[in-house]
């Protein structure tokens, strides 16, 4: 049972970080509907272990790590489901393939094409402006891995978005 002080502390933590965790989940999954669910699931998990979380050196980093792990699980489940669906249609003579059109790729779609670790590093470093150390804490990886995955992720994004930006007029390509 969590005491009253811990309950107040958790509610304060919730109020301060729920939106940030939801944004993180949205950027990692690309699914705004899943973002609230993942943030809520992460905070529920934190509540059950609040006595440990509150004594951690970096509770917010711990929370980000929980969101990242939940997002990874959701992405893996979606990939498995897509494979099962594609296999089903392939066995029935229909094809579910839709070609990627490079001209329609925006930043979220390009992020969605990155492997999870690269995407997580890029999102935490650039969208959330975390330091390499804080990103490493959140993802439970080394600072060197954060550096290399962020660099590789940014190069991949540049490649994915490069064709589009090369075709846009000099004014930034207003829509």
Contact 24, 36 (CB under 8 A): no
Q: What is the CATH number of the domain that holds 82?
A: 1.10.1740
Asked if residue 63 is part of any domain, the answer here is yes
The per-residue pLDDT for 166 is 45
The per-residue pLDDT for 44 is 95
**What mean pLDDT comes out for the span 68-72?**
92
Phi, psi for residue 36 in degrees, rounded to 5: -65, -40
Q: Is 20 exposed, middle or buried (0-12, 13-18, 19+ CB in 10 A)?
A: middle
Of 97, 121, 152, at which residue does a domain stop?
Answer: 97
Encode pLDDT of 76-118 as tens digits.
887 777 777 666 666 655 444 554 343 334 678 888 889 999 9
Asked if residue 88 is part of any domain, the answer here is yes
Residue 18 neighbours by CB distance under 10 Å? 16
User: What percent of the chain has pLDDT above 90?
Assistant: 51
Q: Could you tell me if 121 and 150 lie in one domain?
A: yes
Of 45, 79, 97, at which residue does a domain stop?
Answer: 97
Confidence class of residue 124 from pLDDT cuts 50, 70 and 90? Answer: very high
Number of domains in the chain: 2
**What mean pLDDT comes out for the span 119-139?**
92
Residue 157 pLDDT exceeds 60? yes
Of 68, 97, 126, at which residue does a domain stop?
Answer: 97
Asked if residue 65 is part of any domain, the answer here is yes
Asked if residue 140 is part of any domain, the answer here is yes
The per-residue pLDDT for 174 is 41
Asked if residue 175 is part of any domain, the answer here is no
Q: Could you tell me if 88 and 113 lie in one domain?
A: no
Q: Which domain holds residue 144?
A: 99-169
Summary mean pLDDT of the chain: 82
Asked if residue 174 is part of any domain, the answer here is no
Contact 56, 62 (CB under 8 A): yes
The sign of the dihedral angle between the CA atoms of 36, 37, 39, 40 is: positive
């Amino acid at each position: 049972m969590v005491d009253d002080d811990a309950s107040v502390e958790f509610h304060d933590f919730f109020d301060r970080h729920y939106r940030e965790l939801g944004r993180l989940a949205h950027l990692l999954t690309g699914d705004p509907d899943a973002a609230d669910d993942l943030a809520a699931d992460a905070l529920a998990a934190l509540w059950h272990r609040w006595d440990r979380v509150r004594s951690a050196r970096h509770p917010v980093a711990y929370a980000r790590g929980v969101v990242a792990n939940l997002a990874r699980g959701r992405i893996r489940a979606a990939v498995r489901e897509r494979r099962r669906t594609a296999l089903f249609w392939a066995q029935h003579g229909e094809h579910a393939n839709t070609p990627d059109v490079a001209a329609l790729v925006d930043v979220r779609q390009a992020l969605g094409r990155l492997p999870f670790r690269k995407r997580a590093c890029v999102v935490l470093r650039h969208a959330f402006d975390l330091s390499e150390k804080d990103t490493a804490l959140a993802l439970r990886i080394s600072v060197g891995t954060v550096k290399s995955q962020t660099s590789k992720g940014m190069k991949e994004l540049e490649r994915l978005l490069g064709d589009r930006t090369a075709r846009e007029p000099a004014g930034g390509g207003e829509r």
